[in-house]
Amino acid sequence: MELKRPQMKNPVHFLAFGFGSGLAPIAPGTFGTLAAMPIWWLCAQLPLWGYLLATALVIVVGPYLCGKTSHDMNVHDHPGIVWDEIAGLLVTMIAVPVTPWGALAGFLAFRFFDIIKPWPIGWLDRRVDGGLGIMVDDLLAGVYAAVVMQLLVFYLPAQFG
């Protein structure tokens, strides 16, 4: 099968590629996470229930967006598909105060777990197919990073609270 390019005029591809951030020639996951930062900031202005609802919506549509784009491109988990990074960062930042240190720490914590893929993240990444497979490792990396963030917020409230 021929490898196809994303069609950025297609709204599914546009979203899956993180509004174009996944087209970065190097480190598209990092650029996708950077693209997620303003989304986090906007969602963080909502009450917690609104933030959780927005995060749930991003997660629920993710398997479709990622799976459809992957299928259209004839490649599983193309590095440019970064909707999963957006979802993972939103999970990381649940109930994290909007501060420069919080933003930096959340970004770094999520990227760390997304790149390192400690067990069972890497195991799931290799075994779960389709759109859910594209999403699951980033969501779990987001959970790991969220634990780190909550510990930082609790133990360093002056910097993160």
Give alpha helix (H) positions in the chain: 11-16, 28-44, 48-73, 83-92, 100-116, 121-127, 130-155, 157-160
pLDDT tens per residue, the chain (161 residues)?
455 788 889 999 999 999 999 999 999 999 999 999 999 999 999 999 999 999 999 999 999 999 999 999 988 889 999 999 999 999 999 999 999 999 999 999 999 999 999 999 889 888 888 999 999 999 999 999 999 999 999 999 988 76
Q: Which pTM does this prediction carry? A: 0.95
Residue 75: φ, ψ to 5°: -150, 135
